[in-house]
Amino acid sequence: MTSQDTLEACKRAAGEAAAQYVRDGQVVGLGTGSTARHLILAIGRRCQAGLRIQGVPTSRDTAALARQVGIPLVETEDSWGIDVTIDGADQVDPQFNLIKGGGGALLKEKIVAAAARQLVIMVDYTKRVPVLGNPFPLPVEVVPFGWGSTARQIEAMGIKPVLRERSGKIFITEAGHYILDLHVDRIPDPADLERRLNEIPGVVETGLFIGRTDVLIVGTPQGVEVQEARRH
């Protein structure tokens, strides 16, 4: 088994373990990304076996896959009472703070996470880090209008922002915004950085998810580890 095969097996194990947190009759926030794909496939199998839920997708890709495997979706965006949101992460520190947004869905992911009574995060073991930061950039979603000025204000904080591009074109989120990827060596105080970034006009949302994770599921080559957050 190659290292890539091992990694994929860890993602699958984490996604399938996370699917067990879904109960009959619930409204479930469905994350976006490679591990979330395994989650959705696992929930789809449970739906085909009789599980009755409604899903709230965090991206068009997630919505398309959920429909494909038979997960009914909440069609209104009026007001959700989400029982549990299950999503992946790009990095997670020992306090369960996260960097998310590598796939560009961070705004919808944070809205759906904030609306949930419980947030379950599932990752493979490579996503655990002692402190958030490089080599993974911190995504920040910004309004296109004056984005260069927004970037300059971030630069004034001593952080290098890079406008995200795909195939030589500016990457545009589903909400019509741009993403600045911030290259930060270490983020020892994620809550402080999130606060300072959110104070900059033009910043819509950051990829820092602070104090939101209730359960962390980690797929490792030795098996699945489950940790619950300690609430003070």
CA angle 232, 30, 1 (to 5 degrees): 95
| DSSP letters spanning 162-195 | EE-EETTEE---TTS-EEEEEE-S-BS-HHHHHH
- Residue 74 phi/psi, 5-degree rounding, is -70, 120
State residue 145 phi and psi, 5-degree precision.
Answer: -60, 120
Q: Is there a catalytic annotation at residue 77?
A: no
Q: Which of 109, 141, 194, 205 is catalytic?
A: 109
The amino acid occupying position 128 is R
Alpha helices in the chain (DSSP H): 3-19, 34-48, 60-68, 106-114, 147-155, 190-198
Would you please indicate which residues are annotated as catalytic (active-site) residues?
Answer: 109
